[in-house]
Amino acid sequence: MADRRLVVIHSPGPAWEPGLPLTQQLGVQEHQSHYAQLAAQGQLDMGGPFVDGAGGGMMVFKPGMDEDTLRSHALTDPAVESGLLQFEIRPWVVGLRG
């Protein structure tokens, strides 16, 4: 059976300050704390920012994560509520492992 995961992809929202490093964006710490809750519950496999300068990042969840629960969590992310980030949820299948 395929290892199907849900992935949350974040991208800069209307409140993102162009040219300002991720660590200096207003609300990024609250965003990290919000997703740390799911990590502490064992639901988040890995996540982090893209480092290409475009902003945003992604979160990969453990198998079995419920999409409605994840969407509710993503919508209540302080960085999404403030407009710092926007998100999309996409299903993904682990096709290769090292």
Q: Torsions phi, psi of 53, nearest 5?
A: 90, -10
CA atoms within 13 A on the CB side of 96: 1
- pLDDT of 1 > 70? The answer is no
Question: Where are the chain's structural domains?
Answer: 1-63+88-98
> Tens digits of per-residue pLDDT, 23-37?
899 999 999 999 999
7 contact partners, CB below 8 Å, separation of at least 6: 58, 59, 60, 61, 89, 90, 91, 92
Q: What CATH architecture applies to the domain 1-63+88-98?
A: 2-Layer Sandwich (3.30)
pTM over 0.85: yes
pLDDT band at 2 (very low <50, low <70, confident <90, very high): confident
